Amino acid sequence: MSEINGKVVAITGASSGIGAATARLLAKQGARLVLGARRDDRLADLVAELGGDAVHVRTDVTRREDLRALVALAQERFGRLDVLVSNAGAGPISPLDDLRVDEWDEMVDVNIKGVLHGIAAALPVFREQQAGHFVTTASTAAFTVVPGMAVYAGTKVAVRAICEGLRQESNGVFRVTTVFPGFVHTDFAEASSNPGLRARISAMRDEIAIPPDAIARAVAFAIEQPADVDVNEVVVRPAAQA
């Protein structure tokens, strides 16, 4: 029997890509799912597909109250929350010279503040339960900065630091895992408003990207470990990625 069976897992950014792939994999392993994303229609379709122990609520991670509602739904429906997968992300990448300041703000609000809002909502629950698991999707951009991705990489560096600090403050009560995907076959490139950069990233994606399932398996691996084993950082990227 999988260690995942019966666990209550909330996932943000669950309507597509890595989030949806993770939901599907964990559902197969018996998890009870609470799914959140801004695209409520896609969430409804996914919950209908999964059936059984899956519910959803529209979730914009830039809104503190939405994260509180996501965690509250888990408690109301299933009586607890075992894992929070903070997967929602924004990546409208562009060179700094483009001065797309609104897009910089969006990345900070979603990628950094969104993670913090999830921590604020789930941390008191995990402390009260004396158990829990934070799983956060970051990016290999946390390790390597390339032109056009300075702000995006900055947000992922920040996420790595926040999650490491959270781990150190856990005192063994809860677990903390950060997953760092490389090129994954999602619609990430489409978010860029810079045509040249969008074309370059799309071409690299089509050439070397791995499927979202690869990241979902890494998330499942971390969750399924015994309670005294904390998998802290997992890097998953295409074998062909430099």
C-beta neighbour count of 242 within 10 angstroms: 8
What's the sign of the alpha-carbon dihedral 202, 208, 212, 218? negative
Catalytic residues: 152
Q: What does the alpha-carbon distance between residue 129 and residue 58 come to, in Å, rounded to a whole number?
A: 25
**Structure-token pair, residue 48:** 């209908």
C-beta neighbour count of 220 within 10 angstroms: 20
Which strands make up the sheet holding 8-11, listed edge to edge?
54-58, 32-37, 8-11, 83-86, 133-137, 175-181, 233-236
Give 3-state DSSP helix, strand, coil % of the chain, rounded to 5. 50, 15, 35
What's the sign of the alpha-carbon dihedral 175, 59, 209, 200? negative
8 A C-beta contact, residue 17 and residue 238: no
Q: What does the alpha-carbon distance between residue 148 and residue 93 come to, in Å, rounded to a whole number?
A: 6
Tell me the one-letter amino acid at 236: V
Q: What does the alpha-carbon distance between residue 147 and residue 82 come to, in Å, rounded to a whole number?
A: 38
